[in-house]
Each structure stands twice: as structure tokens, then as C-alpha cells.
Amino acid sequence: MRTWVRLSFLLALLALTGCPPRVSDRIYFASDRDGVGNNLFVMDAQGKSLKQLTKNLLPDWEPHPALSPDGKSLLFVSRHLDSNLEVYLMDTGGGEPVRLTFTPEDEDRPSFAPDGRILFDSERTGDWELWVMERTGENPVQLTFSPGIDEGGAFRPDGKLLAFASERSGYFGIYLAAPGGGAGVSDVRRIYGGDGFHANDPAWSPDGRLIAFAGNAQGTYNIYVIALDGSEPVRLTGFDGHYQDRYPCWSADGESLVFARREGSDWEICTLRLDAASGSGVNRLTDNQVSDSQPVW
Ligand SMILES: [Ca+2]
Ligand SMILES: [Ca+2]
Ligand SMILES: [Ca+2]
């Protein structure tokens, strides 16, 4: 019951500012269903109208696609042209991806900043840090300087806050920071996790009031949503078995989340309406023996 009071409060917060117009009604995700590689696919919000977007990505890594705010571009990582991961940019309609990074170290988990630049993590200094670069791949600027992995960064839609995951405490936690004027970030603070269990995959609601994330405080990863006022998060999944849920991403209207669920040996894409009953509102969009993961909406 207490969960419901809390969730109702969070939904009321969302309603306060209304919702922006829907940009994308399609879900992009990674899948090895073609038997060749872990490639990018797109489908509608009912799991229909499936289309394959890439054909030659390697099978042994997660592309971690990200969708631009206007729904016209995708970022992802791949090592199909190199021995390590690089960031690529492509049109959502298809076409040849453009390679943006050329380093001997790995890059991972890119996302679009509201100003058009690209946020990503890289191991180019010998430690995983957050970086930002121009849309052309030029002028990379290092944002974090902390021992341990910093990854999965996401700018709030207004660009004034940065959420990311860091294991600087020994466990992954969700952190907030203010983007600095030059190199680096300021006012870094941990809002959840990082103390005895992990939390990762932060995703801003379209109005910037809430963050969805995956955390394993219950022993396995579940999807949570948290406000920025320091209050406890609300758990949205994990009431119907021992699944692993990761990579939440909001619908453009802020009313639903898409995420990846591992049941047994492979992953499926699921959606969850925030106003549905906890755990019972999960709708599975894929159902097969291959991996379908890292959805973006
Ligand atoms: Ca690289
Ligand atoms: Ca680091
Ligand atoms: Ca599957």
C-alpha cells in the first residue's frame, strides 16, 4: 500500500508539468535474432512491424543504442571495424553508420545531449570516465575524473543536470552532477545505491522530474523510479519471480517504460505502464530463444 501512495505521488509530479509531444512511437533494440551478430532492430510499441537496421555488427558485445530527441538518429557502439569498441551514428531510417571515435581503447553507452553533442564513456585514460564530444566526433572533453567505472551518462532534457552510474564507492550507484563550463563536472552527489548493492542504467523522464533505473537491492535487478528530493525510490518490477530487469527507457509521453527482462537464458523486451498495478502491468513484446535487449523508445 505504501508503495502505491508513493507511486501516486510520483505520477502526480509527472502530471504537474504535462508531457511533451510524442516524438517516437517506435522501439529500437539490440538482438542476435539474425544468427549473425548482435544487430539493431526496430518495432512498434506492440512488438509488431519488425525491421532490421544493421547487418554486420559483431555478436559478442552490446551495441547500447541511444535515440536522438527528434527521433531521427541513433547512436551505438560496435567493434565490427576494429578490435575495440567505437561510437557510431546512423539515421533511424537506415543507411551506413558513421564512425565517430578512433581510439585503441573501448568507448561505450553513448547518448545525445540536449545541445546536440554526444555523451559517452571511454577507457582512453586507462579508467572508465564520462566524455562529451561534438556530433562529428571532434573536440572530446573529459567530464569525470574518478577511480572506478563511470558509465551510462544521461543529460536531463534541460541540459542542467547529468545522471550517471559510478562504482567509485565499490558498488554501482546513481549519481547526479552539474555539467561544468569547461572540463569536468561539479556538485557530484550520489542519490541511490553504491552501498552494498548496485544501481545502474539511469533514464530521465521526459519532463526531467524522475529517474528510472535498474538496481539489485532485492538480490536481482529490478526497475525503480526515483524523484530528486532524496526520498526512497519506488520499485516497479520483481513481484512476479526472480527475473533480471535492466535498461529502462521512457516513452515520449512519460506514461510508460520499456526495459529488457532476462528470464532464464535469454532477454526479452517488455513495457510497463506507470499507472498499472505494480508487477502486473508488464507487457512482453518479444518471446523467443534469442537475446533482445537494450531498448530505446
Ligand atoms: Ca575505441
Ligand atoms: Ca572513472
Ligand atoms: Ca528473447
Distance CA 219, CA 150 (A): 22
- Across 80-94, 204-218, 239-253, which has the greatest mean pLDDT? 204-218
User: What confidence score (pLDDT) does residue 11 get?
Assistant: 57
- How do residues 189-234 score in pLDDT, each as one tens digit? 999 999 999 999 999 999 999 999 999 999 999 999 999 987 899 9
- Residue 152 lies in domain: 2-296
Tell me the residue length of the chain.
297
Tell me, in angstroms, the distance from the centre of ligand 1 to residue 115's CA: 24
When divided into structural domains, the chain yields a total of 1
Amino acid at 178: A
pTM across the whole model: 0.92
DSSP state of 84: S
Task: Find the CATH number of the domain harbouring 146.
Answer: 2.120.10.30
Amino acid at 221: Y
Among the bound ligands, the one closest to the CA of 78: 1
Tell me, in angstroms, the distance from the centre of ligand 3 to residue 220's CA: 19
Tell me, in angstroms, the distance from the centre of ligand 3 to residue 57's CA: 18
- How do residues 107-161 score in pLDDT, each as one tens digit? 999 999 999 999 999 999 999 999 999 999 999 999 999 999 999 999 999 999 9
CB 242 within 8 A of CB 260: no
The CA R_g of the chain, rounded to the nearest whole Å, is 18
Among the bound ligands, the one closest to the CA of 166: 2
Mean pLDDT of the chain: 90
For residue 181, what pLDDT band results from cuts at 50, 70 and 90?
low
Integer CA distances (angstroms), 197 to 100, 179, 217, 220, in order: 34, 27, 5, 10
Distance CA 199, CA 228 (A): 15
